[in-house]
Structure 1
Amino acid sequence: MKKQLSELATVLNAFKSEAVQLRIIELVLGSKSMELIAGQQGGGKPSRKVRARRAPKTKGADGVAPSKRKKASSGSGANAILTQLLSGNFFDKPRTINDIIEHCKHKLARTFKANEFSGKLGRMVRDDELTREKNADNQYEYKKP
């Protein structure tokens, strides 16, 4: 038995990896001897790697975390553009939604879709800021009252 163990030791020591050595012992001797070997090595639970924690976010001068602050609106959306056009003289003549889109594309260098204007235009009509009538092409034309 002693001779067999010494032969096994030379074979095991040929492997550099301790994990491979333990796996071979487990296969040869069975799981019962593995528990004994693990107990001798002082192993219980294998140690875990500790992850570094993130530093807590610092609060700004007003006591609110920087990511929680609301962004000030830039005022260049479709609603703001329509309000700006209404305050000017754009709606002195009847304009279709397509006229508004083309004006924004060429004069203001902003691209919008028709659905971005339609809600605000309807609200402006209900609030009597604009009036609308259908033209020969069966499209609504918006103008100042």
Structure 2
Amino acid sequence: MIKDFDKLKQQLAELSEAVNKFESEAVQLRVVELVLGQRDGQVAGLSENGIDGYIAGPGMMHIVRNTPRPGRKKTTTDSARGAVAALNELLEGDFFSEPRTIGDVVAHCQSQFGTRYKSNAFSGPLSRHARNGILTREKNEDGKFVYVDPQKAA
């Protein structure tokens, strides 16, 4: 069905480098449509590559989205799973020997681990640890919750 698949894959990889420079996915999709000459779901002009009847769709954007973007570094995590691991590492150390807010935890993780987490990634696990007695939680003078390890508190 697809002749010269490796050649097409290489061409799409080269195209994705240019397309990924645009921030907006809508702009990326429009550029891909213009480059490939898409009309009514059919990609025109690719039959000489042996892709007769190929319908452009989400699979093509998968290639574009998953190609590394040169010059860009990822600054946030995909999920809270990384935040839980970072929090567990802080629990093993002396970080919670003093009262800490969620903002303190986020700032410490960014400086210590080099990864920016969102504060909501920590709110659930911290509440769970407070409920289970691993940490104690109380409000400070500013009305924010602070968390402290009762076994390591001074």
TM-score normalized by structure 1? 0.47
Bigger relative contact order, structure 1 or 2, given CA contacts below 8 A and separation 6+?
2
TM-score normalized by structure 2? 0.45
